[in-house]
Structure 1
């Protein structure tokens, strides 16, 4: 997903059954063999006794043929607004998609999404809901297979976030700022739609890395031993070797021959993925293009299925009897938490109580992105010592370093009595808005001279005197690579006194400065 080498992602919001986007979605589902699925809903309340209604369903399709200006092999994402489309018009198509043996479904811990999705459709009269996704491949398992291949030995199953998996496999991390936003509000913002589309699209990108690994390791079309017609595979192998596959005519013939083989080979897979006594006639599914051979192999070897039991469709209730709280106590608690909506009190750096006047913050993991933004405008913003700190550790760090702890975790507010006037709950979801909220709340003075004056990596200060190119090259040896194209530009380099990271005033620097001038309205 390199922005410089790939076309912009095609995203379609489907909010009406008579819209061109709805028609395009139905066409796309007949021209894909792999889809990425994800769903969004309004955040669940602690005492909620029913399943939340799914607000948005994301379907990312990797196309087998050109569609709507999107070339074969590329992907397109459809965002289905379940609050706007009559669910009865989606039920049959979605049921067929989830159970179609010709389409591999990708997801990230999708079982919970399926439970909520089924409940949402049932509540609108589409009964029964959905109880099966087959064939299915969880991206967590894909990641574990990639790790096994990478290290060449068996490793323990790892439970990591989708953002972490993206970082390790694709080289970038997904922003999770909007994960807990209210997805029931309409209209959806551009940021929400982009976030939702990327969550589904990245599943395809991670799967493609996995697919390429298998091809490189010899499980390619030419070496497949599981075809119904091994002789046909040998013929395709020769075509693949002797011709330039980029040639359009050869590619068409190659794909046509492959389709003939797959039509025979995949009939076995269809029988395999259907449970005894559960035969589904082929005519019940939309006509789709057959999977290519490597995809058939992946389905046979790695895919699984999600099957919901009746117990899965019932909301879980706590086994322990909750203590009854009087309405008076509940109101008192709510009022107690309300005081954190507005900052009240004296900051620990205030000169009137012996402070040095320099604002200092500690951003917990829920607002870690805010820490980098604060550093960019010259504010001292630390992050926790450990990756998964206990509340007591955070409180001790804030107390010891005389920082205000910034968080979105309401549970942390219970510890306010331990560090009075040193905890603040950030209300905004987006980093730019969070930055402005903190600046306004704590009345921070931001000037253009302060921008980019702290190390965004470790929060350290820069050495006061800039380094020459020669000094920077010497300082970077064995530590950091400086692009050779910078050597003749007579640039000044700056080095962090703490982590020794080198920075220079290139294009990224000037873009960042301009960004924060605009965000903080410093030019007004």
Structure 2
């Protein structure tokens, strides 16, 4: 049931760089030389070394940084590249540099020069910690300085908040927004983060990991293309401004009222950056006319383009500089307290078998109503939404920052099983035997199947998408009519006009009043959960 229709994701132009003697490495070098905008991301191998607490010291043994195993670099190749090179690398290639395979000495100078080049604008999403870990990875292999700075640089969250402010949005702290949320709000792209915590040290990488890693870098360029258009609109007045909240067709919609761009809207583009590239000659033509310089050829867009990029870097850019303190690994406060208190017991040390045993709290023989009910803590909130999608009652804590006792009390009063990945909850043995289950799986799809099999839940296709994924409420039994849906959405929710041209049924949550309808996202979700739950169709 769609709240907004997601855009189809383009097929990315991905190159795995594993050897300095491969064609991909040559493409990588060429793209770096001819790109004025580069997006960066990195994946790490977590630190798993045990550090033993000592009564006289904070810890024995120095903590270490995570090892960067994969560096993702998406390039917006400029028009200065020859036709042969464009054909080879594509206009927006994404390079996945495998730091476990390629000799670091072959790319150190290449990366260092790119990081500090004033001619290249770098994009990232909270990239400082990535740079810290990347610098440590190179320093551990004999490079004395690692990397100490990136400039000019723009964080994608800064672009997001500037876009929201341009359209009357409220400013929030930068660390409250996720990349997936930004991509959904700006690009209408659903970006899954399920593989974020997968094992990035194993080789070969799976197709899912490769697609996930490439997308994280590529869509930074796409958000920047939207931001760049807004900047050009504000600075030159060339384009007609369109409300960000009303965009459903990406950049194509922005150019429909601009006569000079009719050649653009007649062409089907799969990305925002492709649309911007198609308009560079027009930007250059209008820019030259404004400056009274008609001698410049229309196809030569590099000067005006570079000027705008430099202006964007000047007004919104920043730099990442690693201080000496950033180069010294330190434990988080939580880990340090845990070590000093000796509270590092495993599940087995608590003496609790993680396999479910005993009665279920909703068992009618013990006063329950026979309906399976779960409570998910903050570590498995994604699992709660998946359970709701298959029709299972899955609540989250009624407290903003609940402590273990509050979670356990809520589970006991509401006759729910508490689902968690926090081993600390299992030491509360007065409830753990019949109220707490430790989820073993890491990915949401696997977690859902684990819970279904562990508690022998019966899932039917009729149950799919029968609960509100937002609040866990149930739907009004009768679907709403056209007039009822219009009335229910006033001042609360925007329904795309195109839905009313079809015989669409609308449903409303009895608790939060959220409206749902059977659209593309609904049918995709049903197909997804039919496969996960292994339902016969």
Q: What's the TM-score, normalizing by structure 1?
A: 0.77
Describe the superposition over 1:466-511 as per-residue Cα deviations: whole angstroms up to 9, x where unpaired: 4455555555555555555555755554443333444444554444
Shift of 1:336: 3.1
User: Is residue 73 of structure 2 the alignment partner of residue 59 of structure 1?
Assistant: yes
Aligned to 1:280: none
1:402 to 389, 392, 415: 415
Which runs of 5 or more structure 2 residues have no equivalent in the other structure?
52-61, 240-282
Q: Secondary structure at the match of 1:196?
A: helix
Q: Secondary structure at the match of 1:446?
A: coil
Describe the superposition over 1:326-371 as per-residue Cα deviations: whole angstroms up to 9, x where unpaired: 8xx96x6452368464333332112342222211112233322222
Q: Rate the CA distance shift 1:419–1:400 in 2: closer, same or farther, 3 A.
A: farther
Aligned to 2:154: 137
Q: Rate the CA distance shift 1:251–1:359 in 2: closer, same or farther, 3 A.
A: farther
Aligned to 2:209: 192
| Whole-angstrom CA distance in 2 between matches of 1:234 and 1:484 | 37
Aligned to 1:263: none
Aligned to 1:457: 470
1:304 to 318, 328, 339: 318
Shift of 1:88: 1.4
Q: Secondary structure at the match of 1:78?
A: strand
2:36 to 30, 33, 38: 33
Aligned to 2:536: 523
| Whole-angstrom CA distance in 2 between matches of 1:486 and 1:317 | 53
| Whole-angstrom CA distance in 1 between matches of 2:391 and 2:506 | 18
| Whole-angstrom CA distance in 2 between matches of 1:437 and 1:193 | 26
CA contact 1:363–1:381 (8 Å) conserved in 2: yes
Shift of 1:144: 4.3
CA contact 1:104–1:299 (8 Å) conserved in 2: yes
Q: Secondary structure at the match of 1:159?
A: helix
RMSD of aligned Cα (Å): 3.8
Q: Which moved more, 1:94-103 or 1:476-485?
A: 476-485
| Whole-angstrom CA distance in 1 between matches of 2:169 and 2:536 | 56
User: Is residue 258 of structure 2 the alignment partner of residue 208 of structure 1?
Assistant: no
CA contact 1:137–1:304 (8 Å) conserved in 2: yes
Q: Which moved more, 1:22-31 or 1:402-411?
A: 402-411
Describe the superposition over 1:222-252 as per-residue Cα deviations: whole angstroms up to 9, x where unpaired: 9xxxxxxxxxx999634379999xxxx9541
Q: Rate the CA distance shift 1:472–1:16 in 2: closer, same or farther, 3 A.
A: same
Q: Which moved more, 1:435-444 or 1:7-16?
A: 7-16
CA contact 1:70–1:76 (8 Å) conserved in 2: no
CA contact 1:399–1:419 (8 Å) conserved in 2: no
| Whole-angstrom CA distance in 2 between matches of 1:56 and 1:124 | 16
User: Is residue 126 of structure 2 the alignment partner of residue 109 of structure 1?
Assistant: yes
Describe the superposition over 1:26-76 as per-residue Cα deviations: whole angstroms up to 9, x where unpaired: 11111211111111112344847111211111112122136555898x532
User: Is residue 361 of structure 2 the alignment partner of residue 348 of structure 1?
Assistant: yes
Aligned to 1:385: 398
| Whole-angstrom CA distance in 1 between matches of 2:490 and 2:329 | 58
User: Is residue 457 of structure 2 the alignment partner of residue 444 of structure 1?
Assistant: yes
User: Is residue 511 of structure 2 the alignment partner of residue 498 of structure 1?
Assistant: yes
Describe the superposition over 1:273-309 as per-residue Cα deviations: whole angstroms up to 9, x where unpaired: xxxxxxxxxxxxxxxxxx6101111223332322323
Q: Secondary structure at the match of 1:29?
A: helix
Q: Secondary structure at the match of 1:497?
A: coil
Aligned to 1:182: 199
Shift of 1:3: 6.6
Aligned to 1:18: 21
Q: Which moved more, 1:112-121 or 1:131-140?
A: 131-140
User: Is residue 525 of structure 2 the alignment partner of residue 512 of structure 1?
Assistant: yes
| Whole-angstrom CA distance in 2 between matches of 1:156 and 1:523 | 46
| Whole-angstrom CA distance in 2 between matches of 1:384 and 1:150 | 34
Aligned to 1:252: 299
Q: Secondary structure at the match of 2:226?
A: helix
Shift of 1:424: 2.2
Q: Secondary structure at the match of 1:464?
A: coil
Q: Secondary structure at the match of 2:93?
A: strand
Aligned to 1:368: 381
Shift of 1:165: 4.1
CA contact 1:344–1:421 (8 Å) conserved in 2: yes
Q: Secondary structure at the match of 2:33?
A: coil
| Whole-angstrom CA distance in 2 between matches of 1:211 and 1:199 | 19
Q: Rate the CA distance shift 1:12–1:346 in 2: closer, same or farther, 3 A.
A: farther
| Whole-angstrom CA distance in 1 between matches of 2:486 and 2:496 | 10
| Whole-angstrom CA distance in 2 between matches of 1:88 and 1:71 | 23
Higher relative contact order (CA 8 A, sep 6+): 2
| Whole-angstrom CA distance in 2 between matches of 1:42 and 1:241 | 52
Q: What's the TM-score, normalizing by structure 2?
A: 0.75
1:237 to 287, 292, 307: 287
Q: Secondary structure at the match of 1:217?
A: helix
Q: Rate the CA distance shift 1:517–1:158 in 2: closer, same or farther, 3 A.
A: closer
| Whole-angstrom CA distance in 1 between matches of 2:367 and 2:218 | 52
| Whole-angstrom CA distance in 2 between matches of 1:70 and 1:397 | 59
User: Is residue 162 of structure 2 the alignment partner of residue 162 of structure 1?
Assistant: no
Q: Rate the CA distance shift 1:239–1:452 in 2: closer, same or farther, 3 A.
A: same
Q: Rate the CA distance shift 1:13–1:410 in 2: closer, same or farther, 3 A.
A: farther
Q: Which moved more, 1:161-170 or 1:10-19?
A: 161-170
CA contact 2:347–2:426 (8 Å) conserved in 1: no
Describe the superposition over 1:422-457 as per-residue Cα deviations: whole angstroms up to 9, x where unpaired: 222322232221211110111111122322222333
